[in-house]
């Protein structure tokens, strides 16, 4: 008996069939356009702005099944899940009307910039500073490893404003149009094979109107984590889908490949590691669903813990599944024909981004277990 609702099972089956129709050698633009037309991109956004009225649960199903079919859409993590969620929850009515319909129907995309060269995982060291002007804001700083800036209409930038009372800096979110004066990008030369390119951004006294600020200037971390928790959940979905794709290829190969009298999958040295990979992917998927349900129910604190656990578990399970899949195929696992070798590098992303497994363990150790901080 499935623990998912009938609606979720139907969505999963529909997306799986759609993904199989495109497969590993898909046309990215065609896939994005058709997914938009079918309502998959905007499934988590409010109905009144053209979305499907669902939540991160539904969007994670979409990404997980596309990944399982070999055609994940990484910008689903960024555009609707992070940016769309933040604007839907905290944006003004004008910001919602301006952005959500386009994010839902795929006609507009938005990137997300938080990581900085000297800050890494420490968001408290962000040095991108926003200062008030007579008619809005100026934004100055740098960001790195920002996905899809070249195809995005704007980037949601995490900056910091100065609290007039305490003098302390607090995080705030700003919509920066791609053609804003002083906003420049340079592509980072990555060995990673992915459609979405990575960029370094420079913001040199970028002048922004007052309505570029998303949400309340004093809300700080609440608004930031409204985007980061969905990011972790969606990264888990990305990793689980990738792991399932690799595992599926390995299982098919192990059923057919014969070296002696029986398929290699009959040998426990092959069968047991594949079975273990399956178990670990399923366990990660359960935690991901828990995290998504907590987030959609409005339990931000519970979702924070669960989304970090889900991202950790999915990243580990994905790397192990891909490694075992390649090992199962032997030399064939490194050929272009079978499409697994590139996943060796790509699977590491789930361990590294958007937060490292070590920082997740830091979070769990002091937030969940109450242990003292070392930093």
More confident residue, 154 or 118: 154
Q: Each residue of 310-323: pLDDT tens digit?
A: 999 999 999 999 99
Compute the distance between CA of residue 196 and CA of residue 347 in angstroms, rounded to an integer: 15
Q: Each residue of 30-45: pLDDT tens digit?
A: 999 999 999 999 999 9
Residue 167 has pLDDT above 60, yes or no: no
Question: What's the rounded mean pLDDT across residues 212-229?
Answer: 80
What CATH number does the domain located at 111-214 have? 2.40.110.10
Q: Report CA Rg, the chain.
A: 21
Domain residue spans of the chain:
6-108, 111-214, 221-368
Question: What's the rounded mean pLDDT across residues 230-241?
Answer: 97
Residues in the chain: 375
Q: Each residue of 298-345: pLDDT tens digit?
A: 999 999 999 999 999 999 999 999 999 999 999 999 999 999 999 999
111-214 and 221-368 share one CATH topology? no
Angle 59-211-160 from CA coordinates, rounded to 5°: 80
What is the structure's pLDDT at 168?
63
Does the CA dihedral 214-215-217-218 come out positive or negative? negative
Percent of the chain topping pLDDT 70 = 95
More confident residue, 124 or 350: 350
Compute the distance between CA of residue 75 and CA of residue 50 in angstroms, rounded to an integer: 18
Compute the distance between CA of residue 101 and CA of residue 284 in angstroms, rounded to an integer: 32
CA-based diameter of the chain, in Å? 80
pLDDT category at 26 given cuts 50, 70, 90 is confident
Residue 219 has pLDDT above 80, yes or no: no
pLDDT category at 1 given cuts 50, 70, 90 is very low
Question: What's the rounded mean pLDDT across residues 270-280?
Answer: 98
Percent of the chain topping pLDDT 90 = 83
The token pair at 66 is 């596309």
pLDDT category at 195 given cuts 50, 70, 90 is confident
Residue 181 has pLDDT above 50, yes or no: yes
Residue 164 has pLDDT above 70, yes or no: no
Residue 161 has pLDDT above 70, yes or no: yes
Number of Cβ within a 10 Å radius of residue 375: 6
DSSP symbol at 81? I
Question: What's the rounded mean pLDDT across residues 279-306?
Answer: 96
- pLDDT, mean over the chain: 93
Number of Cβ within a 10 Å radius of residue 207: 15
Looking at CATH, the fold of the domain delimited by 6-108 is given as Butyryl-Coa Dehydrogenase, subunit A; domain 1 (1.10.540)
Compute the distance between CA of residue 92 and CA of residue 199 in angstroms, rounded to an integer: 28
What is the structure's pLDDT at 110?
97
Quick one: which of 94, 205, 201 has its CA closest to 154? 201
Looking at CATH, the fold of the domain delimited by 221-368 is given as Butyryl-CoA Dehydrogenase, subunit A; domain 3 (1.20.140)
Cα separations in angstroms, 213 against 60, 157, 159, 219, 366:
27, 10, 10, 12, 32
């Amino acid at each position: 008996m499935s623990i998912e609702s009938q609606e979720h099972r139907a969505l999963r089956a529909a997306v799986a069939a759609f993904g199989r129709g495109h497969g590993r050698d898909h046309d990215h633009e065609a896939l994005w356009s058709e997914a938009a037309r079918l309502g998959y991109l905007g499934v988590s956004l409010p109905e009144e702005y053209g979305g499907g009225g669902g939540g991160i649960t539904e969007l994670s199903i979409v990404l997980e099944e596309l990944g399982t079919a070999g055609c994940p859409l990484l910008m689903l993590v960024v555009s609707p899940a992070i940016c769309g969620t933040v604007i839907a929850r905290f944006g003004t009515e004008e910001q919602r009307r301006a952005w959500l319909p386009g994010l839902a129907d795929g006609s507009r995309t938005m990137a997300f910039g938080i990581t900085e060269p000297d800050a890494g995982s420490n968001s408290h060291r962000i040095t991108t500073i926003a200062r008030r002007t007579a008619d809005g804001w100026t934004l100055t700083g740098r960001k790195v490893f920002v996905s899809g800036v070249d195809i995005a209409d704007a980037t949601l930038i995490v900056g910091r404003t100065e609290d007039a009372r305490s003098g302390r800096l607090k995080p705030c979110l700003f919509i920066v149009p791609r053609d804003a004066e002083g906003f420049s990008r340079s592509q980072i030369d990555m060995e990673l094979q992915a459609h979405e390119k990575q960029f370094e951004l420079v913001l040199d006294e970028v002048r922004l109107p007052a309505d570029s600020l998303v949400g309340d200037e004093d809300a700080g971390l609440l608004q930031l984590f409204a985007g980061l928790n969905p990011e972790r959940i969606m990264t888990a979905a990305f990793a689980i889908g990738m792991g399932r794709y690799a595992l599926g290829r390995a299982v098919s190969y192990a059923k057919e490949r014969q070296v002696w009298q029986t398929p290699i999958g009959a040998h426990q040295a092959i069968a047991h590691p594949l079975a273990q990979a399956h178990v670990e992917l399923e366990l990660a998927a359960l935690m991901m669903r828990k995290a998504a349900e907590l987030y959609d129910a409005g339990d931000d604190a519970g979702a924070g813990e669960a989304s970090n656990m889900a991202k950790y578990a999915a990243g580990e399970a994905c790397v192990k599944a891909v490694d075992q899949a390649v090992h199962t195929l032997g030399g064939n696992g490194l050929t272009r024909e079978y499409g697994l070798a590139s996943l060796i590098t790509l699977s590491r992303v789930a361990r590294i981004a958007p937060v490292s497994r070590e920082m997740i363990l830091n979070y769990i150790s002091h937030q969940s277990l109450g242990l003292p901080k070392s930093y």
